[in-house]
Amino acid sequence: MSKKNIILLGVVIGLLIIPSHIVILSNIIESFLADLIVTLVFLVTWFSIVYYLEYFYRKLRDVDPIDVEILDSKGLRHPEYKTPGASGMDIRYDGKAVITVNPGERVLLTTGVYVALPENYEFQVRSRSGLAWEDGVVVLNSPGTVDADYRGEIKIILINHSKVPLTVKEGDRVAQLVLTKVQKVLWVPVKALDDTKRGKGGFKSTGVT
């Protein structure tokens, strides 16, 4: 059911239920104050219906932000979304020392970030597109994984694929975190797998163009 249909359903329910309450209250108390109270009750009930329909719609669509605990450290800049539609949060290097990543070299960067993810969620650690394209520097194990039961510091492995060194300073955004839901696997042993058109075709089995 679409969001529009859910809200429409709420309107219909409100129109069916609320008038009966208005009639009952108006018959009991006939005064301006009673009419005012009835009007307020109508408005509160109406907006409550719309609010909760919107709330449950968002829950069904799983679009509400997920609460994630982060260890609060003085001066720590939390990972943050730079635009409203961003999927990844930029995470920063927090070391005092200036790091030089030479061509072909890999480094392990600290962030000062410690989190407790909800069960069945992970953080994927991904490269930043700007660093990848302009500097040839990427997250070596991209996407890295921060498991829900990990309580250590999130660290970033960078590797320099370019021909020039890259300097990393405190506060530089070095990677991005994407929150992802994890579906666990339950293995089902079978004697044989079903046949498909592709079969065992692997690398380049479908061609290039």
Nearest to 111 by CA among 166, 150, 156: 156
By DSSP bridging, strand 89-92 and strand 106-116 are unpaired
Q: Mean pLDDT, the chain, as a whole number? A: 85
Pairing of strands 173-181, 121-126: antiparallel
Report pLDDT for 191: 95
Task: Please determine, for residue 53, whether its predicted confidence score (pLDDT) is greater than 80.
Answer: no
For residue range 172-199, list pLDDT tens digits in order: 999 999 999 999 999 999 999 999 988 8
Domain ranges of the chain: 3-61, 69-181
Model pLDDT for residues 119-154, shown as the tens digit of each residue = 999 999 999 999 999 999 999 999 999 999 999 999
Residue length of the chain:
209
Lowest mean pLDDT among 14-28, 51-65, 162-176: 14-28
- Give the CATH architecture of domain 69-181: Distorted Sandwich (2.70)
pLDDT bin (cut points 50, 70, 90) of residue 41 is confident
**pLDDT for residue 62 is more than 70:** no
Output the six-digit token pair for 18.
């609320």
CA distance 186 to 30: 65
Rounded distance, CA 6 to CA 128, Å? 39
- 160 neighbors 137 (Cβ within 8 angstroms): yes
**pLDDT score for 134:** 96
Question: What share of the chain in percent tops pLDDT 90?
Answer: 58
What pLDDT score was predicted for residue 61? 61
What is the structure's pLDDT at 54? 74
Distances (CA, A) of 128 to 71, 76, 125, 156: 24, 20, 10, 12
Residues forming beta bridges with residue 99, ordered by sequence position: 168
- The DSSP secondary structure of 47-107, one letter per residue, reads HHHHHHHHHHHHHHHT-SPPP-EE---TT----B-SSTT-SSEEEE---SS-EEE-TT-EE
Partners of 107 in beta bridges? 158
Report pTM.
0.67
* Residues 69-106: tens digit of each pLDDT: 999 777 778 999 999 889 999 999 999 999 999 999 99
